[in-house]
């Protein structure tokens, strides 16, 4: 670490100039000759049988292209893990806003009227609108028991610990749905001809997910389906699954009409119809000794998965593995279930189940501390995972992690101890405003869970252009996080050439190999490593050709690459994923190396609670993390700050209001995200410990910052008010409601 010239430096965003000039082309900026505009007719009820469709008067229906489920050439399915998510509802609907019928017309202004004129008559069936109703099978709406997936993760002998405990502390923690609210809505354009097959351009994260889904839905040969990502205006997981749906809809209209078709949602449709973060309910029962040693835990996780299983099983898996937090549990049992309800399917959202679990454990740790009369930091210090100890899955910590130090640094940066004492003293006399400070400690696994990376079998490549520029060929996409810049930095550093002499290949399935999806904080660590090896291969070829000597300049590289291409036609190098040594995972028992590496963090929040309005403001926020080597400090800091802001939104502002399964506040006017005036100073610090198996020591960053803010803020609110809140989002009315009732007795059993 330290000798590198490009890695670790704040290189400017590759596509930055295009973005600040307004030249970057997003899906709605594109148009094609003869293009039609598509729109979707959706279900207004949550569950029922479709009886008939009528086309109302006053619309020139003969000018419209109309597609129903019967027009689907292949499988009526959006290919995910299971096969239950239809592309268009055929006979039944299982959630409000489920797509039933598609329309296309050259005049986009006619579409809203046409959509409103289609009347779908339905027989309404009883629906399930909560985890509890789903649990009671009241009624059964999916499979035999409403359960998409369940896991049991067990270590030690939990049943034996209860009699050994001085205290048993119980708690229940819930979290709500969260809308991604990327500023660019979902959109896609499809073009089809029998000769060239199907091409779909879209705002998306995972070109090969869409490819796989559309091959299945169209029945076309793999090489006849081409997916191209265009500039994508934010995603956060929300463009992992849904682009396969909107892409399929555009494709069906294009195939039926023979014309290019664009579908771009407006904000109301995007918010109402697309996926959101899974709501959760987590129950903890913990055995502790008087002096704060954690003996054992029984944890029960329930996720609301919505109407179709989509990615719920993998979200649940990550929630399960992160349930115990960054602590050593000699005995632990986690039972988890993802339930079906009749809400629009919940999907991937930054953190992918971990924020839900970590909110619960980090609120629960503060409860335990209070019950025992031990300071929250001291309780954590006594139980932190350390090198040599094993996680809940039996994974031995081999990274040189020092959580005690990380926590110490975060608390010092926030002036925690001093403020903790001062606020408590000043709050006693305060009438109008009370202040509090709280924190959360957590971890986040980088990359796919368990054997996931092995199954993905990712392939990255590099080649050179005819001008002699090196080109990174991956299916990893840029949607603001910095993929383009980071991967070019790695390639340039490895090749020993200027950053400007490296460019990204187009994110087009007909050009780049399948490097796996752009999710799970895997791009820097996993894909970065592959790009590094591909760059090493490229350089070796050039050195072996004797066109290039060691220690070449950028100009020499460009010359040599150009000559090589002129002589041989092409210069290309590939690299396939290999698991780091000693990584074993048992999918049945949930034992082993759950992740190749973890990122670790401690976040501290300082809040003010207004005693009249019950409004909470976050006044200061400190984020200290260990994410391996930081490849680009400016981009990494931006990732952390953005994630913290989303976490603040999830904790204090963002509430999805449901009305019989339909989102009632699907507008930016009434679904509130933090503005420039709501965000505190976010102070970001990195502890750098290069990870041996990541590119230049990198681990994952992207999702980590979503995990910490909610528990840190609620711990701070407890400090300010002396009352315990165990649910997010926590809006003023929620605080008011709870302040109006007497504090319930906490469930503590003294043995």
Residues that bind ligand FES (CB under 6 A): 183, 234, 480
Residue among 86, 91, 123, 115 nearest 344 (CA) = 86
CB contact at 8 A, 111 and 304: no
CA distances from 4 to 43, 72, 388, 632 (A): 56, 53, 31, 12
- Restricting to residues 253-282, name those near other proteins by CB under 8 A: 266-267
DSSP tag of 406: H
Listed ranges 18-26, 38-46, 562-570, 611-619: which one lies at the site for other proteins (CB under 8 A): 18-26
Partner interacting with residue 24 (select from ligand FES, other proteins, none; CB below 5-8 Å by kind): other proteins
User: How many Å apart are CA 410 and CA 404, to the nearest integer?
Assistant: 10
- Sequence-separated (6 or more) residues with CB below 8 Å from residue 689: 399, 400, 401, 626, 628, 629, 697
Q: Is 28 in the site for other proteins (CB under 8 A)?
A: yes
- SS3 label, residue 418: helix
Residue among 267, 362, 283, 275 nearest 311 (CA) = 275
Min separation Cβ 21 and other proteins, Å: 5
Q: Is 32 in the site for other proteins (CB under 8 A)?
A: no
Q: Is 56 in the site for other proteins (CB under 8 A)?
A: no
The length of the chain in residues reads 751
Partner interacting with residue 57 (select from ligand FES, other proteins, none; CB below 5-8 Å by kind): none
- Restricting to residues 506-545, name those near other proteins by CB under 8 A: none
Listed ranges 277-285, 453-461, 673-681, 743-751: which one lies at the site for other proteins (CB under 8 A): 673-681
Strand ranges, E, within 212-266: 225-229, 261-264
| Total residues binding other proteins (CB under 8 A) | 56
Q: Is 356 in the site for other proteins (CB under 8 A)?
A: no
Query: Quick one: which of 407, 645, 698, 718 contacts other proteins (CB under 8 A)?
Result: 645
- Restricting to residues 151-190, name those near other proteins by CB under 8 A: 180-185
Query: For other proteins, which is the closer residue by CB, 535 or 644?
Result: 644
* DSSP assignments along 333-364, one per residue: EEEEEEE--SSSPP---TTTTHHHHHHHHHHH
User: How many Å apart are CA 294 and CA 167, to the nearest integer?
Assistant: 10
Beta-bridge partner residues of 460: 575
Listed ranges 438-446, 498-506, 631-639, 736-744: which one lies at the site for other proteins (CB under 8 A): 631-639
Min separation Cβ 243 and ligand FES, Å: 17
Min separation Cβ 483 and ligand FES, Å: 14
Write down the residue that tokens 């300082």 correspond to. 606
Min separation Cβ 183 and ligand FES, Å: 4
CB contact at 8 A, 19 and 643: no
Query: Quick one: which of 85, 148, 151, 236 contacts other proteins (CB under 8 A)?
Result: 236
Partner interacting with residue 495 (select from other proteins, ligand FES, none; CB below 5-8 Å by kind): none
CB contact at 8 A, 442 and 434: no
Query: Quick one: which of 213, 244, 494, 637 contacts other proteins (CB under 8 A)?
Result: 637
Partner interacting with residue 70 (select from other proteins, ligand FES, none; CB below 5-8 Å by kind): none
Min separation Cβ 671 and other proteins, Å: 10
Q: What are phi and psi of 611, to 5 degrees?
A: -80, -10
User: How many Å apart are CA 98 and CA 296, to the nearest integer?
Assistant: 43
Residue among 336, 341, 340 nearest 322 (CA) = 336
Query: Quick one: which of 209, 349, 479, 585 contacts other proteins (CB under 8 A)?
Result: 479
Partner interacting with residue 554 (select from ligand FES, other proteins, none; CB below 5-8 Å by kind): none
Q: Is 486 in the site for other proteins (CB under 8 A)?
A: no
Q: How far is CA 310 from the centre of its chain?
A: 14
- List of residues contacting other proteins (CB under 8 A): 10, 12-13, 15-26, 28-29, 31, 180-185, 231-236, 266-267, 479-482, 634-635, 637-638, 641-646, 667-669, 673, 675-677, 679, 681-682
């Amino acid at each position: 670490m330290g000798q590198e010239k490009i890695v670790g430096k704040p290189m400017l965003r590759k596509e930055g100039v295009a973005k600040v000039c307004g030249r970057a082309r997003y899906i709605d900026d594109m148009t094609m000759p003869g293009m039609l505009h598509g729109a979707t007719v959706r279900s207004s009820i949550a569950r029922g049988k479709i009886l008939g469709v009528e086309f109302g008067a006053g619309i020139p229906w003969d000018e419209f292209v109309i597609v129903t489920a019967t027009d689907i050439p292949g499988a009526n399915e959006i290919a995910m893990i299971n096969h239950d998510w239809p592309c268009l509802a055929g006979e039944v609907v299982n959630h409000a806003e489920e797509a039933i019928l598609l329309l296309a017309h050259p005049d986009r202004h006619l579409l809203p009227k046409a959509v409103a004129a289609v009347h779908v008559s339905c027989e309404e069936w009883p629906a399930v609108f909560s985890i509890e109703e789903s649990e009671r099978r009241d009624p059964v709406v999916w499979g035999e028991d409403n359960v998409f997936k369940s896991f049991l993760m067990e270590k030690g002998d939990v049943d034996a610990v209860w009699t050994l405990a001085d205290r048993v502390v119980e708690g229940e923690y819930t979290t709500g749905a969260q809308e991604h609210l990327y500023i660019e809505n979902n959109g896609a354009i499809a073009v089809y001809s029998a000769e060239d097959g199907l091409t779909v351009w879209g705002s998306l994260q995972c070109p090969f997910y869409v490819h796989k889904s559309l091959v299945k839905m169209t029945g076309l040969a793999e090489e006849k389906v081409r997916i191209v990502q265009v500039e994508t205006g934010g995603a956060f997981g929300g463009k992992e699954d849904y682009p396969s749906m909107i892409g399929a809809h555009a494709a069906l209209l294009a195939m039926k009409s023979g014309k290019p078709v664009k579908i771009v949602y407006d904000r109301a449709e995007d918010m109402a119809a697309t996926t959101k973060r899974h709501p959760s309910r987590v129950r903890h029962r913990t055995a502790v000794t008087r002096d704060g040693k954690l003996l054992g835990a029984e944890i029960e996780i329930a996720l609301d998965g919505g109407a179709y299983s989509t990615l719920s099983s993998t979200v649940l898996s990550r929630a399960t593995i992160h349930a115990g937090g960054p602590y050593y549990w000699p005995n632990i049992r986690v039972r988890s279930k993802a339930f079906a309800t009749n809400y629009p399917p919940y999907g991937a959202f930054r953190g992918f189940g971990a924020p839900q679990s970590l909110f619960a454990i980090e609120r629960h740790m503060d409860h335990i501390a209070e019950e025992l009369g031990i300071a929250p930091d001291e309780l954590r210090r006594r139980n932190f995972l350390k090198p040599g100890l094993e996680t809940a899955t039996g994974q031995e910590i081999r990274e040189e992690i020092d959580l005690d130090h990380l926590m110490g640094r975060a608390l010092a940066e926030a002036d925690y101890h001093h403020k903790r004492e001062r606020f408590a003293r000043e709050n006693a006399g305060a009438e109008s405003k009370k202040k509090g400070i709280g924190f959360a400690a957590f971890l986040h696994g980088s990359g796919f869970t368990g054997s996931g990376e092995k199954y993905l079998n990712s392939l990255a490549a590099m080649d050179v252009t005819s001008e002699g520029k090196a080109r990174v060929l991956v299916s990893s996409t840029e949607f603001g996080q910095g993929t383009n810049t980071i991967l070019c930095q790695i390639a340039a550093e490895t090749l020993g050439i200027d950053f400007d002499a490296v460019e990204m290949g187009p994110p087009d399935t007909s050009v780049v190999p399948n490097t796996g999806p752009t999710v799970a904080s895997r791009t820097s660590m996993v894909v970065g490593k592959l790009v590094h090896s591909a760059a090493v291969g490229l350089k070796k070829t050039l050195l072996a050709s004797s066109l290039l000597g060691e220690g070449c300049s950028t100009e020499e590289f460009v010359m040599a690459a150009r000559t090589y291409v002129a002589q041989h036609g092409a210069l290309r190098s590939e690299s396939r994923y290999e698991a780091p040594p000693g990584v074993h995972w048992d999918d049945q028992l949930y034992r082993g190396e759950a992740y190749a590496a973890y990122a670790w963090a401690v976040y501290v929040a300082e809040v003010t609670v207004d005693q009249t309005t019950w409004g909470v403001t976050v006044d200061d926020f400190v984020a200290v993390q260990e994410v391996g080597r930081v490849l680009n400090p400016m981009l990494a800091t931006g990732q952390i700050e953005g994630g913290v802001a989303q976490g603040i939104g999830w904790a204090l502002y963002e509430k999805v209001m449901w009305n019989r399964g339909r989102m009632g506040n699907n507008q930016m006017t009434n679904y509130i995200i933090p503005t420039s005036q709501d965000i505190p100073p976010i102070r970001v610090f990195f502890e750098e410990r290069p990870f041996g198996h990541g590119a230049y020591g990198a681990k994952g960053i992207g999702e980590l910052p979503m995990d910490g803010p909610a528990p840190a803020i609620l711990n701070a609110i407890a400090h300010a008010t002396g009352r315990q809140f165990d649910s997010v989002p926590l809006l003023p009315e929620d605080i008011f409601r709870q302040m109006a009732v007497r504090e319930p007795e906490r469930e503590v059993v003294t043995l």
